[in-house]
Amino acid sequence: MIRRREFLGGAAAVLAASRMARAQDPIHVAVIGLGGRGDDHMKSLSLIPSARIAAVCDINQEARERGAALVEKLTGSKPKMYGDMRRVFDDGGIQAVSMATPNHWHALGTIWACQAGKDVYVEKPACHNVFEGRQMLEAAAKYQRVVQVGSQGRSIPYRHRAIQHLHNGAIGKVYLAKGLCYKRRLSIGRKPAEPVPAGLDWNLFLGPAPMRPFTWNRYRYNWHWFWETGNGDIGNQGVHEMDFARWGLGKDLPSAVVSTGGKYVYDDEQETPNTQLATYDYGDCELVFEVRGLPTEAEDGILIGNLFYGSDGCMAMDQSGFRIYQGEEKKLAFEEKIDPAQAVDTTPHFANFLDAVRTRDRGKINGPLDEGVKSASLCHLANISYRLRRRLAWDAKAWSFGGDAEANALLTRAYRAPFVVPTEV
């Protein structure tokens, strides 16, 4: 016969063991948005023992079925399938979500997830406009959610070492940081409006954006080049290099911005520039960012990356590593070359996110939301200056252009109900 004390003692041991086991249970994640980045999310999460891909979500039935098949192939377990992210947030078994949707869905999806008690990994840029970034920050704080932005380079050790060299004075006082996005982009041409393909929920795809007739240019990837859904290449590939440039300077937002450029050579439907130059005034230094989608030459051997200039030298950094030059003769003082395998960034970034989810320590996040919002906001400020064709003064404390009503109007958008980013989260 088992005595009561023995039973209670045994039960306590079982309970403790159960709690320990639960602490090590995989975190149930839903991947929302199953395009190119969504595929990378699924593949990366499948490599992390602390994650279980419990659900996939996309507005396209074909994408859902393909995503579910991929997860089953990678993990041996078939996930649930959802066509509407709101059903994911209703699922009490989902603990965290990864948002690999188009830019115009990042903020609202993140806010809804936070309100539903889910932690969030959201792709870059963190937000589609400045207002949305601030609302995301409020939601994450209010609901005490872990939110990691897909600034994957912040989880790569050599990037940290490079930035540390800058902050330790390897090139003296840094007076200029340059971000380069010389990524070749072909013309998207013109595509006619046509019936919405079977299995595709076009209303949900557009979400916060105005209703438009379906065209392939507004849907598959090329949504990046329309203001209503994307932010051009400065907010696409460029936001990574923008983030590194700002990180290297150790700055937040500037006192002024001016951006010029245009969509040159091509006669097509693209709205965003394929050639763009942005300059940010920080008083004691400046940040310069350049987009070139047309044929061009590299700068110091870099097509996509960063250059930093200081009183005692300069640094070049890209996916191959970084180089430090010193003195008037620009002599190579230090170089770290990276094996391409070491430049893989999504998996460690997800692992870092899941570690923070498990421990509830938001201080562990390598790509925190506030940093992601600042870097995305730099892209938005440049685009506003570009669209208005003039220099703009920025009030970093008020997060506004002061009394400039025309510029302030572009800090947000007119939302299409019911897909409205709330003023009260």
**What residue spans of 76-169 are helical by DSSP H?**
85-90, 106-115, 130-142, 157-167
* Residue carrying structure tokens 């987009």: 291
Tokens representing residue 107 in the block? 């903020």
Rounded distance, CA 71 to CA 39, Å? 9
Helix (H) or strand (E) holding 148: strand 147-149
Tokens 């980013």 label which residue?
A: 421
- The pLDDT, as a whole number, for residue 12 is 38
Q: Which residues of 9-40 are buried (b: 16+ CB within 10 A; e: fewer)?
A: eeeeeeeeeeeeeeeeebbbbbbbbbbebbbb
- DSSP-derived secondary structure letter, 367: S
Residue (of 237, 271, 304) closest to 36 by Cα position: 237
- pLDDT score recorded for residue 393: 98
Enter the CATH code of domain 4-153.
Answer: 3.40.50.720
CA–CA gap between residue 316 and residue 324 (Å, rounded):
7
3-state helix, strand, coil in the chain (%, to 5): 40, 20, 40
Instruction: Please state whether beta strands 275-281 and 331-337 pair in parallel, antiparallel, or not at all (unpaired).
Output: unpaired
pLDDT score for 344: 72
**Residues contacting residue 107 through CB under 8 Å, at least 6 positions apart:** 126, 127, 128, 132, 133, 135, 136, 421
145, 183, 273, 287, 291 from 259: Cα distances, Å: 35, 19, 11, 12, 11
DSSP string, 10-61: HHHHHHHHHHHHHHTSPEEEEEE--SHHHHHHHHHHHT-TTEEEEEEE-SBH
Q: Tell me 94's DSSP state.
A: -
Residue 346's H or E segment, with its range, is helix 346-359
Dist. CA 214–CA 362, nearest whole Å: 40
- Alpha-carbon gap, residue 97 to 58, rounded angstroms: 13
Cα–Cα–Cα angle for 71, 95, 38, rounded to 5 degrees: 35
d(CA 405, CA 383): 16
What is the per-residue pLDDT across 181-211, written as a single tens digit (0 to 9) for each?
999 999 999 999 999 999 999 999 999 999 9
pLDDT the model gives residue 73: 98
Q: Where in the chain is the domain with CATH 3.40.50.720?
A: 4-153
- Token digits of residue 8: 């209670």
Which residues of the chain are modeled with pLDDT < 70? 1-23, 342
370: exposed, middle or buried (C-beta count within 10 Å: 0-12, 13-18, 19+)? Answer: middle
Q: Which residue has the tokens 């937000």?
A: 127
Q: How far apart are CA 313 and CA 173, in angstroms?
A: 9
| Residue 217 three-state SS | coil
- Numbered ranges of CATH 3.30.360.10 in the chain: 157-338+369-405
Amino acid at 32: I
Q: What is the pLDDT of residue 345?
A: 81
Task: Please work out, in degrees rounded to the nearest 5, the angle formed at the alpha carbon of residue 126 by the alpha carbons of 122 and 127.
Answer: 120
Q: Which CATH superfamily is domain 157-338+369-405 in?
A: Dihydrodipicolinate Reductase; domain 2 (3.30.360.10)
Q: Which two tokens stand for residue 144?
A: 């005490």
Name residue, tokens 């840094």.
174
User: What is the bridge-based pairing of β-strands 51-57 and 331-337?
Assistant: unpaired
